[in-house]
Each structure stands twice: as C-alpha cells, then as structure tokens.
Amino acid sequence: MSASKPFPPLKNDLILRAARGEKTERAPVWVMRQAGRYLPEFRAERVEHDFFKICRTPELATKVTLQPIDRYDGLLDASIIFSDILVVPQALGMTVEMVPGKGPHFPEPLVLPEDISKLNQNVDVHKELQYVFDAITMTRHALDGRVPLIGFVGAPWTLMAYMVEGGGSKTLSKAKEWIFKHPKTSHDLLQRITDVCVNFLVGQVHAGAQMLQVFESWGGELSPHDFELFSLPYLAQIAKRVKAELGSEAVPMTVFAKGSWYALEQLSEIGYEAVSLDWTHDPKAAKAITKGRVTLQGNMDPNLLYGGDEAIVAAVERMVRGFGSTGRYIANLGHGILPSVPVEAMGLFLKTVHRVGLEVAAEEEKANKN
Ligand SMILES: Cc1c2[nH]c(c1CCC(=O)O)Cc1[nH]c(c(CCC(=O)O)c1C)Cc1[nH]c(c(CCC(=O)O)c1C)Cc1[nH]c(c(CCC(=O)O)c1C)C2
C-alpha cells in the first residue's frame, strides 16, 4: 500500500473548516469511539478476530472504521482510524493484550525505574507501526472522500500510566508513585514516549490522516500543579514538533485532556486548533475562557445516551445552543460512547445535532443581518 496514489477528492470538509476557525453551515459532528463495541457489526468481527489483529490488518481496520460511516450514512462528519492508544507502548517493546470484557493488560508492566532501560531505544515508527500507516492509507481510499479521516495518539502521561499500572486503574497509585518518587525517570520516560508520539503522528499524516487528536484520558487524575509538570509540556511539545515537521502539510490538531477542566485556558494556548471538552464544562463558560482562540469540541455526557429520547434531544439543544453552530464548534460526546448504548440512541444524537445545528445556524444568520 502506498500513499503515492492520489486520494479521492473530499466531499465534506466541515470539520476541517470548523477546526481552522472558518464559518460552517452547521456544526460538524463525530463521536469518540464511534467504531466499537456498541455496534453489532463490530462485535461480529470481534467474535472472529483478536482486537490487535483487527488493528494490525489494514483490511479489517478499514472495514471497522467504515462501519459507523455506513450505518449512519450522511450523519457523521469525520471518521477516526480504528486502532488504540496502546500501540505506542507496543512499539516501545511492551506486550499488551486486550482481555475481552476487561480491557488492556500488560503482563510485564514497568515496576522499577531501571525497567525503562528494557524499552526499545530510537523506535522506528515505520518498522513498528507501519500497519497503522497502511490502515490509514487504505481507509482514506475506501472513504472515497465522504468525510475526513482522523489519526490519533495517546498522550505521554496517559500512556505512562498504562505502562506502569499494567492496565486500567481506579487510583493510578503506581503511576503516581513514579512521578512523586522518581520525577527524573518519569520525565525521561515521558520524553521517550513523546518522541514516538511525534514521529507516529507525522507518519499518520503522511499516510493520509487529515486531522489529529491527542488523548490525555487520565489528565484529570493529576492536580493542576502536577498537570503543569507532567502533562502540559509534553502536549505542547507534540503540537509544536508535529507542525514543524509537517510544515505546509500540517493538519488541524485537537487535544483532549479529560477531567483537566482547570487547564482549559492553558490548553487553548499551546498550539492546538481544537480543544475537546468533557461534560464537566459549561459551553458558555468554556467559550468565555478560550475567547475564540480555539475550536471547542464536545461535550454531552455519554451516559445521556441511556436517558431516553427526550433527555437526548434536550441535552443536544442545550449543547448546540450553548456552543453555537457555525463557528469554532465540533459536536461530540464528552468521552467515548459506551459499549452498551443502543444504536438508535446514537442515531438520534446525530440527527438531533444536525437538526438543531441547522436551526441555530439560521438563527445566527438572521441575528447577524439585524
Ligand atoms: C480512538 C480509539 C481508542 N480506542 C479505540 C479507538 C478507535 C475507535 C473509535 O474511536 O472509533 C478502539 C478500542 N479500544 C478498545 C476497544 C474495545 C476492545 C474490544 O473490542 O474488546 C475498542 C473498540 C480497548 C480499550 N482500549 C483502552 C481501553 C480503556 C481501558 C481503561 O478503562 O483503562 C479499552 C477498553 C485504552 C484507550 N484507547 C483509546 C483511549 C483514549 C480514548 C478514551 O479515553 O476513551 C484509551 C484510554 C482510544
């Protein structure tokens, strides 16, 4: 697979325009984890294939990435490549298994500071992660320009947390012991992860990704002080270096630091075009803090998709009216869609974003004329 064959022309660039701060006819919408376990067609693939086999087989990753685009035909304004944030620890030499019903498991997590010497040095992303690049190139062709394709990475602190905890954790006590007891080694580790993330993101754009998102899913576990030390500098470095390396090929970048509401102003000043918000933010307050510097993305509580039709419609109304529909806004959930959400609830969410988005756009245009 090569990226040299020209990609089909893009028919819907709403999300790219929203991210660049251009006016849009309505707010674009996509959903974090839109390909995945809530879709019966995804569960059918998982009966046949191991999770990382899907990630590593471009044909399967392409098929699964397209599942929500086909099911919700015309309702999604972006696709996100099917992969996982934990492919970066794998590239660093760690074994990661996906245990059905439990989530990721590292049989040999980093325990002692000296364990970081076991990690691969100078990771060649084209050797370790070429399968992601191939999946991106294949998916971009298969999308046939219907919507842009988003590439992503996990942020360094979140990846470090998994590598030290050995999987998900309620307290992150092991990862926190590292940053508090071994700050220097922790910074060394965060820097090594950052270097891989930068090369990986640049490679994803060369392979065909049209937008990038950095997931700091465990950001909110850190105090504002520790976020400033152990997360923010690496998030800033990623944006700066990826843009510098891509030059004129640079694409819009989004940062999502879940739970780090206290850092919103800082997150809007470190070089990302968009900041993704969880549901603990009030839309108007978030707009006031960021003053139009960035595009805001989000932020309905994913659990509202269990709340029934009326609750979903009311929440979308509040969200889109709060953020506005035609400038610097991308509709999404405040975190990934949950595995047991009914497919109809997702459909209603998307349709309602479109309907309310168009209504609000018409109202905004009328108000601007007056
Ligand atoms: C962007 C993405 C991710 N995972 C997957 C995707 C691609 C699919 C898509 O979004 O459409 C597939 C993706 N990744 C996974 C699944 C389910 C695996 C299965 O089928 O068994 C899917 C569809 C597995 C996975 N992978 C991970 C978890 C969470 C475990 C925990 O709570 O600690 C889990 C359960 C780690 C992970 N993975 C990801 C994050 C960041 C986003 C977030 O905060 O939700 C994180 C933290 C990112």
Assess contact for 109 and 86: CB atoms under 8 A.
no
Instruction: Tell me the pLDDT band of 65, cut-offs 50, 70 and 90.
Output: very high
Q: pLDDT band for position 228 (50/70/90)?
A: very high
In 3D space, the residue among 97, 118, 93, 116 whose CA is nearest the CA of residue 164 turns out to be 116
Choose one of 65, 85, 256 to mutate for the ligand 1 pocket test, by most ligand atoms within 8 angstroms of C-beta.
85
242 in helix, strand or coil?
helix
Q: Which atom of ligand 1 is nearest to the CA of 162?
A: 33
Does the ipTM exceed 0.90? Answer: yes
* Least confident segment among 151-155, 173-177, 324-328: 324-328
Report the nearest-CA residue for atom 25 of ligand 1: 103
pLDDT exceeds cutoff 60 at 2: no
For residue 265, the model assigns a pLDDT of: 98
Tokens of 95: 């074994």
Instruction: Examine the residue annotation and report whether 26 is marked as an active-site residue of this protein.
Output: no
Q: Which amino acid is at 315?
A: A
Mean pLDDT over residues 112-122, rounded?
96
Give catalytic status of residue 355 as yes or no: no
Query: Hey, where are the domains in the chain?
Result: 14-369
Spatial separation of the C-alpha atoms in residues 16 and 150, rounded to whole Å: 10
Atom of ligand 1 nearest to the CA of 81: 7
d(CA 122, CA 114): 17
Q: Is 162 a catalytic residue?
A: yes
Catalytic residue among 26, 56, 77, 84: 84
Active site residue 43: no
Say what the pLDDT of residue 358 is. 97
Q: Is 84 a catalytic residue?
A: yes
CATH topology of domain 14-369: TIM Barrel (3.20.20)
Ligand 1 environment, Cβ below 6 A? 32-37, 46, 51, 80, 82-86, 98, 100, 103-104, 152, 168, 215, 217, 335-336
Tell me if residue 156 falls in helix, strand or coil.
helix
